[in-house]
Structure 1
Amino acid sequence: MQQNVVILGASDNPDRYSYKAFKSLMNHGHKSFLVSPTIKNLEGTPVVSDLSDIKINVDTLTMYVNSKISSGLKNKILELKPKRVIFNPGSENLELETALKKAGIEVLQACTLVLLATDQFEKKF
């Protein structure tokens, strides 16, 4: 089942895990919506600089930013109302995780790449 997935902290550097997640999500048939203040386009996919520019229903938000950045985006993430947020290694943020759970949003501390590779990413919402 195709999901709408927001990659927060998208990168055009092939060595970055957010880039690898973009490629893997695409290969698994998911639609990626990319957020980064530093790039405008990634292999033909538009990149927005602000979460408020995302105007779709979000199944999964996958985090590739540190806790200082994500703390500053807490309200925008809550307003986006993703069904699930994945905190990839290095992006953990207990305060944000607590706020998301309180809002009824599923929270995972996991690696998007591993979830995809082991067929654990797809979830029926």
Structure 2
Amino acid sequence: MEDRIKKEILQKTKTIAIVGLSDRPERPSFRVAKYLQEKGYRIIPVNPRVEEVLGEKSFASLNDIPFSVDLVDVFRRSEEVPALLEEAAQKKIPWVWLQLGVTCPEESEQTARQNGVQIIKDCCIMVEHKRLIG
């Protein structure tokens, strides 16, 4: 995806659901969430094993979030992505960001696009934010 589009997404986004967000500070998902929160984004933890992360209530799934979300950042195994893309489509979340190494089958990606969900693949949202916005 072009840098111009990534930058525009990052500038328009206000609320980010982070699937697989850990409450352990040494985990990459925690570091990324903390960075994003410090940059003014509202982060929404999506992890059934934790109650709260960085002062925000955690939800078991995207479907459990009772308000709108602008973007989903995924820190889960690739085999879980197709189901997450379906949830994002149901919730009308326009963007799903797959962290480095997280992939999805082409057919899942096509279905997501047909349902209004665009996917940013194989890059870290924190690294891209630092590079494109600072």
Q: Same fold (TM over 0.5)?
A: yes
1:41 is the counterpart of 2:41? no
Residue 64 of structure 2 corresponds to residue 53 of structure 1:
yes
CA distance in 1, matches of 2:132, 2:41: 13
Q: Tell me by how many angstroms 1:47 deviates.
A: 0.6
Q: Distance in 2 between matches of 1:12 and 1:73?
A: 21
- Listed as ranges, the gaps of 5+ residues in structure 1 are none
Which amino acid counterpart does residue 51 of structure 2 have in structure 1?
K
Equivalent residue for 2:119?
A: 107
* Identity, % of aligned positions: 23
Task: Describe the SS at the equivalent of 2:93.
Answer: coil
2:53, 2:117 → 1: CA distance? Answer: 28
The CA RMSD over aligned residues, in Å, is 1.9
Is the contact made by 1:8 and 1:35 (CA closer than 8 Å) also made in structure 2? yes
Aligned match of 2:132:
119
Give the number of equivalent residue pairs. 121
Give structure 1 regions of 4+ aligned residues with deviation exceeding 6 angstroms.
none
TM, length-normalised to structure 2: 0.79
SS in 1 for 2:35: helix
In the alignment, which residue of structure 2 is the partner of 1:68? 79
Give the deviation of 1:20 after TM superposition: 1.2
Cα pair 1:24 1:116 within 8 Å, conserved: no
Offset, 1:120: 5.1
Which blocks of at least 5 consecutive residues in structure 2 are unaligned?
Answer: 1-10
